Amino acid sequence: MNPVAQRLGELRERVHAAAQRAGRKADAVRLLGVAKRIADDAIVESVAAGLGDVAENYVQEAVGRRAHFEQAFAEHALDPPEWHFIGRLQSNKAKSVVGAFTWLHTLDRASLGTALEKHCAAQDVRLRVLVQVNTSGEAQKGGVAPDALEPLLAESEAWPHLDVAGLMTLPAPAPDPEDVRPAFAQLRELRDHWQATLPSLRELSMGMSGDFVVAVEEGATLVRLGTALYGARPPA
């Protein structure tokens, strides 16, 4: 077994244990392999090991190597993964995401939603989006403030080609995963509150390599795994 496949198996076991502790079903949690600066072969290995979702941070990097991935998946008779865009996105780059990804995790303003809707309508495609919430109040970080979530969700009614499927957060880094538990709990509470108004709001994208166990215990349905799955990234 190659190292990527072995780590994927170990991560699934940890997710399963965390879900059990929280009284949840493990199959309610999807693992996303974060491809940022990871070698193409490692991504293919993870898909061959059964990973069904791959996430990209940068539009140019993602689009630039997509043809290679498609060829590799075909050569190995692999079903291609679902592609998730998890990086910050400028409205003028929205066209590059539409059609190349089935998920976008970083919707945080009405202007971006309007741009995505425009390009989805032009291509007659749909896009599943998650609203990013800034649970830590960091000025330099993307995401809508928790108390500004309501008007953004109301704006989403004008975007028929966007399926607003849930919420996402990137809490402030902390040495102890327990320190970020309150941010994950807050996101779950926001989802639960607004789901009564917007039933499609089911997903919680939260948790990364260092804190995904806590995120699963708090209700994560999508966790983003980079170094935990692929090992240390090469320098940028």
Cβ proximity of 128 and 155 under 8 Å: no
What is the per-residue pLDDT for 126?
97
Separate counts of helices (H) and strands (E) for the chain: 9, 8
Amino acid residing at 12: R
The pLDDT tens digits for 5-33 are 999 999 999 999 999 999 999 899 999 99
- CA count, 13 A, side-chain hemisphere, 120: 21
Angstrom CA distances, 43 to 77, 104, 132, 134, stand at 15, 19, 25, 29
The pLDDT tens digits for 171-201 are 988 999 999 999 999 999 999 999 999 999 9
Euclidean distance between CA atoms 142 and 147, whole angstroms: 15
Angstrom CA distances, 204 to 96, 100, 125, 196, stand at 24, 22, 23, 15
Structure letter (DSSP) for residue 226 = S
The pLDDT tens digits for 84-129 are 999 999 999 999 999 999 999 999 999 999 999 999 999 999 999 9
What is the per-residue pLDDT for 32?
98
Cβ proximity of 121 and 99 under 8 Å: no
Name the pLDDT band for 78 (thresholds 50, 70, 90): very high
